[in-house]
Amino acid sequence: MRIGLTVFLTDRTIDPVTLAREAEARGFESLYFPEHTHIPVSRVTAPPTGDVELNDEYKRTLDPLVAIGAAVAVTERLALGTGVSLVAQHDPIVMAKQLATLDLLSGGRITLGVGFGWNHDEMAHHGVAYASRRDQAREHVLAMVELWSHDEAAFDGEYVSFGPSWSWPKPLQQPRLRTLIGGGAGPKLFAHICEYADGWFPIGGAGVREALPALHAAWQAADRIGSPEVVPFGVVADAGKLDYYRGLGCSEVVLRVNGAGRDATLRQLDELAGMTQS
């Protein structure tokens, strides 16, 4: 079972270059960056954490693709990904090229973690309706796959439409980047995973055991080969949890690191490395 990390990087935390180098040096195998394009001052949507006020890190998050590019340049083995990207809020033609470029330059080390989003205000500024965000995200990913996997690509959907087009570079991973979808267990989420992804990103890692039979049944019903990946994400680490997820057959666990300055972050990495390598 691989062990990865996720950190809310901001303009006030450790930088992605130092973090990536130090994570790889300590033997961690993956690093994921979250995304919020911006946070509207209006507070129509309550914070997902249950706090009265939204944590400051949401307002100051670095762009994940730019951060990944910086990390790619200074690492050799570390897998890098979005945890998660709000793909409905992006132009899929532009994002397809960005991700393909990162995958090419990294030697095929990029994972696309997909999220549907919780912030009504943020989506509205991008012209995305909350009720249709899942359908829009689906089309964006499917359109990117067309651009990644065909020399001449076209797509005609409700939210994305373009005629026969050329787009290079192609990602090294084919026909798509490794794709994981975050969200709560249920038939709708599992239908998305089985159609256009490689596995599930259960954020926080709760309820995985109970959901596995339904996920595997949906995978088999969709005639997918093998088994879906299950990657508990943003897990607060302890040795018992790691043993538990290993026993469930999880391919990877992504541990949460609190966003902080360089020294405080490196202390967290040392503690996690000691726990996971003992």
Q: What is the model's pLDDT at position 264?
A: 97
Tens digits of pLDDT across the chain (278 residues): 999 999 999 999 999 999 999 999 999 999 999 999 999 998 788 887 777 788 899 999 999 999 999 999 999 999 999 999 999 999 999 999 999 999 999 999 999 999 999 999 999 999 999 999 999 999 999 999 999 999 999 999 999 999 999 999 999 999 999 999 999 999 999 999 999 999 999 988 888 999 999 999 999 999 999 999 999 999 998 888 999 999 999 999 999 999 999 999 999 999 999 988 75
SS3 state at 73: helix
Query: What CATH number does residue 159 fall under?
Result: 3.20.20.30
Q: What is the model's pLDDT at position 278?
A: 57
**Counting every residue, how long is the chain?**
278
- Structural domain that includes position 182: 2-277
Interatomic CA distance for residues 227 and 209, integer angstroms:
15
Q: Are 6 and 31 in contact (CB under 8 A)?
A: yes
Query: Domains in the chain: how many in total?
Result: 1
Q: What is the model's pLDDT at position 206?
A: 82
What residues contact residue 187 under an 8 Å CB cut-off, 6+ apart?
Answer: 214, 218
Q: Mind spelling out the 3-state secondary structure of 38-68?
A: CCCCCCCCCCCCCCCCCCHHHHCECCHHHHH
Q: How is 221-242 classified by DSSP, letter by letter?
A: HTT-SS--EE--EEEPP-HHHH
Whether omega before 84 lies within 30 degrees of 0, making that bond cis, reads yes
| pTM of the shown model | 0.95
CA dist 241 → 30, 144, 235, 248 (Å) = 18, 35, 9, 11
Structure tokens at 256: 């949460």
- Residue 64: how many CB atoms within 10 A of its CB? 23
Q: Are 218 and 269 in contact (CB under 8 A)?
A: no
Q: CA 246, 249, 251, 257 torsion: positive or negative?
A: negative
Q: What does the angle CA 221 – CA 109 – CA 217 come to, to the nearest 5 degrees?
A: 10
Q: For residue 138, which of 154, 155, 121, 126 has the smallest C-alpha distance? A: 155
